[in-house]
Amino acid sequence: MSGISYPSECTFLVSVIIPIYNVENYIESSLKSALNQTYSDVEYILVDDCGTDSSMSIVESIINRPEYSNKQVKIIKHSYNRGLSAARNTGLKHAVGEYVFFMDSDDEISDNCIEKHIISINDANADFSIANIQLVGVKSVHIKDLNEDIVDSLPLQSFLQRRWSVSAWNKLYRREFIQNNNLLFDDGLIHEDIIWSYRAAKKAKKIALVHDRTYKYKINKSSITRKPNTNKKIDSLLFVLNQIIADRSNNSLVLEYNKFISYWVFNTSLLLLNFDGDVRAQRQYYKKLQKLAKQCGFNIYSFSLLLPYNLYMLIMKPLYNIYKRIM
């Protein structure tokens, strides 16, 4: 490996942004994993998004411990609960590091996470770096190990091919790259990571790869299988899909766009199987998804949406329930 070889010689300040909202059962292990990094030139930006539990009291007790007295910690408090996107944007507004790393406050990172990223991004002179993920709690078809050759592909192409996670976390970004491309999260949007990562991939010239699994992504199986999907969740995904579709026609990667969009159209249709709205709204959403699927042509992800609404529900619901039990 050329370029940076010894982390102790690095002097790049990294801004780690952690939004905090109602995570009292997870915040201690999460924050301690962030503070106990082998790379020391880090500022921690903790955004208090006005939760109703004891999360911030736990945060205060941790950062006041003697072993963390030398850490650069900023706590930024919102005046009211504004959501994850706004909290991340607040973090970006207050970040002064040359690099930015997003972390969710119910997850953990390895002790050498920032060190591994800083070496990789500088060695490759990349716009951002991507690492592997350790999934805790359930299996997921969305999480898979990275292939070495993604660094040789156009970032947008490898993104559309779903060769790396759409999540904003577990990536180290040059702050200058974020600023120059006006990359901000859409306020009030659910699944904001999809459109954020799409825009980042579209603007990036080069990405770097960290082979290690530096991020522990925790999923509570009972919560994801029992919690119904809301109108806001479906509307957010439709917004994201339409934003990406609008870019498709003027790009040479039309086939990649179509397959990517079809994949997320199909996954959005699965959310309708556990929808908390009425049947009329469910039917309307299904029609919108069918229209999007048709725009992308026939492929492995769009075939089920060729079915009429009633038949789709009849066939897919029991199959989906079986899938949830075995995952």
Claim to verify: residue 207 and residue 300 sit in the same structural domain: no
The pLDDT score that the predictor gives to residue 141 is 55
The residue from 219, 253, 270 where one domain ends is 219
Claim to verify: residue 240 and residue 118 sit in the same structural domain: no
Could you list the residue range(s) of the whole structural domain that residue 94 is in?
A: 7-219
Task: Decide if 127 is inside a domain.
Answer: yes
Q: Which CATH number belongs to the domain containing residue 74 in this structure? A: 3.90.550.10
Task: Decide if 257 is inside a domain.
Answer: yes
Phi, psi of 230 (to 5 degrees): -95, 170
How do residues 192-242 score in pLDDT, each as one tens digit? 999 999 999 999 999 999 999 999 998 765 444 457 899 999 999 999 999
How do residues 11-29 score in pLDDT, each as one tens digit? 689 999 999 999 999 999 9
- Assign 3-state DSSP to the chain and report helix, strand, coil percentages, each to 5: 50, 15, 35
H-helix or E-strand spanning residue 133: strand 128-136
Average pLDDT, the chain: 90
pLDDT band of residue 262 (cuts 50, 70, 90) is very high
Claim to verify: residue 190 and residue 246 sit in the same structural domain: no
Task: Decide if 170 is inside a domain.
Answer: yes
Eight-state DSSP code of residue 50: -
- Rounded to whole angstroms, the maximal C-alpha distance in the chain is 63
